[in-house]
Amino acid sequence: KNQVEQSPQSLIILEGKNCTLQCNYTVSPFSNLRWYKQDTGRGPVSLTIMTFSENTKSNGRYTATLDADTKQSSLHITASQLSDSASYICVVSGRGSQGNLIFGKGTKLSVKP
């Protein structure tokens, strides 16, 4: 069964610190991997999209990495800000049905002052 597992489930860090969120997947064949940020009560907003040929992609203070061999991705947040408090969701697309965007359960990040 195609799955996307994220860790940790939740994370608390102090403002200004860095953190790394993990995503492991078993989706095969693989098409692309996305990271979304979802603020409480809002819809998800795209941070990065990577295909199997891309190893790293940055969007401001967010840097995503992808290892298609080990089927692992990470999202690194640098110099965290209070506004980074949100859920971060990893989404993997297979080459099957278009509806086959497999969502992880997300990591809930809390940035404290």
Partner 1 sequence: GAGVSQSPRYKVAKRGQDVALRCDPISGHVSLFWYQQALGQGPEFLTYFQNEAQLDKSGLPSDRFFAERPEGSVSTLKIQRTQQEDSAVYLCASSLVSDVRLAGEGSTGELFFGEGSRLTVL
> In angstroms, what CA-CA distances link 54 with 65, 73, 83, 90?
8, 11, 28, 16
Site for partner 1 in 39-98 (CB under 8 A): 41-46, 49-51, 53-54, 89, 93-95, 97-98
Q: Residue 22, interface with partner 1 (CB under 8 A)? A: no
Least Å from the CB of residue 88 to partner 1 = 11
Measured in whole angstroms, how far is the alpha carbon of residue 85 from the centre of its chain?
Answer: 14
Least Å from the CB of residue 79 to partner 1 = 26
> In angstroms, what CA-CA distances link 63 with 28, 53, 56, 96, 97?
24, 16, 7, 27, 28
Contact residues for partner 1, defined by CB under 8 A: 4, 31-32, 34, 36, 41-46, 49-51, 53-54, 89, 93-95, 97-101, 103-106, 108
